[in-house]
Structure 1
């Protein structure tokens, strides 16, 4: 069996992208059906993250049925085990990134250098029930026209206390 590096990298990137799309739509659906997602309503009420590890646990457990289904589909269409493993690594990589990005936006949103505006922070601070559903990335909000740009940098955000990228709630 010849291992095709291009296919492996493509599966890894595709897993990352599809997981980000799943996170966007999951978050959006939690806002569409708040009565079935009381934990999410509570999250908006308290306005804090639960810590990177607990966020990661929730992302992995919530996405597990879809992850297993996609692995089954990949197997049925003849994707080799390297492609399937790359897919899983891509999906799990996004889950780790999203868990970290979620907590960072609650603890120190100014550090989210990869975003023009920390969408999840704005989503909370400006009570945007219908906008800015992204957690780690904002491209799905832009594609599905739920991105809403606001001036988010208050005086405290322009001059935050000096904390680093690892000085966030982990547990």
Structure 2
């Protein structure tokens, strides 16, 4: 698969998922929003567009391009093991998902990386646009980690494409302001990260922020004991965001870009 085809697939899937989730949020929102769409979406969309430009300018081949080169030259563990194609696909997909989970934990644990990642958490509401609200520095670091993993493990290009598509779709889904049916949600969170499950991760409470790190699969949180079923304050009582970044003036693109370089007022960090 060529990088052009990969980009086309990713854009088509992302637009489709965004449209579905945005419409779902508009017709059946789970929570009443603090700031709402009008106050937050310009900044969130602005950051997302900057992320796209940064990646395309600085990492034009992206992970799938590196995967194709690795396959041609036999780089990586999976390319040197006598495994069926489907096993390579599943192993590569799961390995990338575990790496993203571990990366997420590291970005919370290391102070300098937290300063970059906290822009994502500073959103006072969580909705479909929050799923793509990441600082460009974090996006580029994440891409570098992903590329290194693809080369070292020899992840097949098709698995890389599938992972990227699912990661983007699941991020928009689990950040969205929607609720699954009450009977389905407890079962669904054994297979996917649901919006209610991920909402805990966006609580202002430190111990809740440092839980439920998964994006695609919920199993890593259970395996590594970072899973939290619900916020202490309950579904309606949980406060979203960071205590030190709640000023409405913090929602513009420039403020979001410069946030990692400004001192926080939260002594816990």
TM-score range, shorter chain: 0.5 to 0.7
User: What is aligned with 1:121?
Assistant: 199
Structure 2 counterpart SS, 1:110: coil
User: What is aligned with 1:87?
Assistant: 156
Structure 1 gap ranges (5+) = 1-5, 75-83, 156-171
Structure 1 counterpart SS, 2:156: helix
Say yes or no: does 1:16 pair with 2:86: no
User: What is aligned with 2:175?
Assistant: 106
Is the contact between residue 60 and residue 92 of structure 1 (CA under 8 Å) also seen in structure 2?
no
Between the aligned partners of 1:61 and 1:149, the Cα distance in structure 2 is 31
User: Deviating runs (4+, > 3 A) in structure 1?
Assistant: 47-55, 57-74, 111-114, 151-155
Alignment of 1:8-157 (within 5 A): 8-46=85-123, 47-48=125-126, 50=129, 61-73=140-152, 84=154, 87-111=156-180, 114-116=188-190, 118=194, 119-125=197-203, 127=205, 128-150=208-230, 153-154=235-236
Structure showing greater radius of gyration is 2
Tell me how far 1:87 sits from its aligned partner: 2.1
Is the contact between residue 60 and residue 95 of structure 1 (CA under 8 Å) also seen in structure 2?
no
Structure 1 counterpart SS, 2:96: helix
Tell me how far 1:133 sits from its aligned partner: 0.6
Count of residue correspondences: 140
Change (3 A) 1:26 1:109: farther
Could you tell which deviates more after superposition, 11-20 or 125-134? 125-134
Between the aligned partners of 2:235 and 2:172, the Cα distance in structure 1 is 18
Structure 2 counterpart SS, 1:149: coil
Q: Deviations over 1:138-171 (max 9, x none)?
A: 100011011111276549xxxxxxxxxxxxxxxx
TM-score, reference length from structure 1: 0.62
Higher relative contact order (CA 8 A, sep 6+): 1
User: Considering only aligned residues, what root-mean-square deviation do their CA atoms show, in Å?
Assistant: 3.5
